[in-house]
Amino acid sequence: MNLSSLAQPLLKEKQEELDIQDLQGLWRINWKIDRITLYSGIYTRVDQVFIIWAVIVGVMFATAQFLPINWTIQAIWWSSLTIVGAIAMMSLTWFWAGVERLRWVVCGWAILVLTGVVFTDLGIFLGWGEILIHLCPMWLSLSAIGYLFTGIGLRSRALCLAGCLHFLSVGFLSYVGGWQFLTTGAVMSCSLLLLAQLQWDMRSPIEYALLTSAQQQFNRQQHQQRIRHTPTGKQTTAVGIRK
């Protein structure tokens, strides 16, 4: 990470000038009543994955906190839902990750998620009390590890900060008493939704081996457009902040 990247904001409003890999499967939302715009936004496939996980995590931990459902039944439900989420994550981000040379990040997240599922199920089905009383710290720690290696791979201070926040939240759990599941779900879901809603910093553009010459040229043009539309355009030339 060069010095000029430190001058860039960690989070900012999303830019419209997206690269080829970000335009794949893009959601454009524009809710209106007559001529009044209620909400407008764009969501790349990476953003969509964040939203999917935010919903999954929120439902899982809210159910564990508030509903008196048998733990065995919950384990079956949430294990199945988590596996579906992992498959959706890999399916949605595989092209983007290939272009950005970050498929190891996607695979790393899949390994972390499946590790969490295995240990959670072992704790429930085998009655391992030590695991059961540390479910929330375990999931926060796994998420923190994922954010940190993703932040390193993307050279993103925002994602590294999210990882640190999750690690700090582990220590905070001892102060919330019986609300650990709700606290864990809130930290994880809110972080995901924030990252889906805003544009976070990342490394400079690279030469994309998976793209054609025309697609690479398109990305260069988009990068120049982003520079023109950024007040700190001179610094952005060196950093190339985008998603």
- Quick check: helix, strand or coil at residue 134? coil
Q: Are 163 and 151 in contact (CB under 8 A)?
A: yes
Query: Model confidence over 57-111: pLDDT tens digits?
Result: 999 999 999 999 999 999 999 999 999 999 999 999 999 999 999 999 999 999 9
Within the chain, strands assigned E span 11-12, 27-33, 36-43, 199-200
Q: Rg of the chain over CA atoms, in angstroms?
A: 20
Q: Collect contacts of 177-180 with beta carbons under 8 A, ≥24 apart.
A: 179/65, 180/136
Query: Residue 206: which pLDDT band, with cuts at 50, 70 and 90?
Result: confident
In terms of residue numbers, what domain contains 105? 1-243
Question: Tokens standing for 149?
Answer: 């290696």
Tell me what pLDDT residue 55 has: 98
The C-alpha atoms of residue 189 and residue 67 are separated, in whole angstroms, by 19
Question: Is 163 a residue whose pLDDT tops 60?
Answer: yes
pLDDT-based confidence at 6, cuts 50/70/90? Answer: low
- Total domains in the chain come to 1
Angle at 8 between CA 141 and CA 171, to 5 degrees: 20
Residue 235 has a pLDDT of 43
* Arithmetic mean of pLDDT, 170-183: 96
Which whole number is the average pLDDT over 114-124?
97
Provide the 3-class DSSP secondary structure of residue 220: helix
* pTM, to two decimals: 0.89
Position 7 scores a pLDDT of 60
Q: Within 10 Å of residue 214's Cβ, how many Cβ atoms?
A: 9
Amino acid 236: pLDDT: 39
Across residues 117-141, what is the average pLDDT?
A: 96
Q: Cα angle vertex 82, ends 10, 45, to 5°?
A: 45
The two three-digit tokens of residue 177, written as one number: 């008493």
Number of residues that this document lists for the chain: 243
Confidence grade of residue 38 (pLDDT, cut at 50, 70, 90): confident
Question: Closest Cα to residue 42, out of 18, 20, 73, 12?
Answer: 18
Report the half-sphere exposure of 1 (CA within 13 A, side-chain side): 16
Mean pLDDT of 116-140: 96
Instruction: Summarize the confidence of residues 159-170 as an average pLDDT.
Output: 98
For the chain, what is the mean pLDDT? 89
- pLDDT score at 222: 83
Which tokens in the block code for residue 80? 């199945």
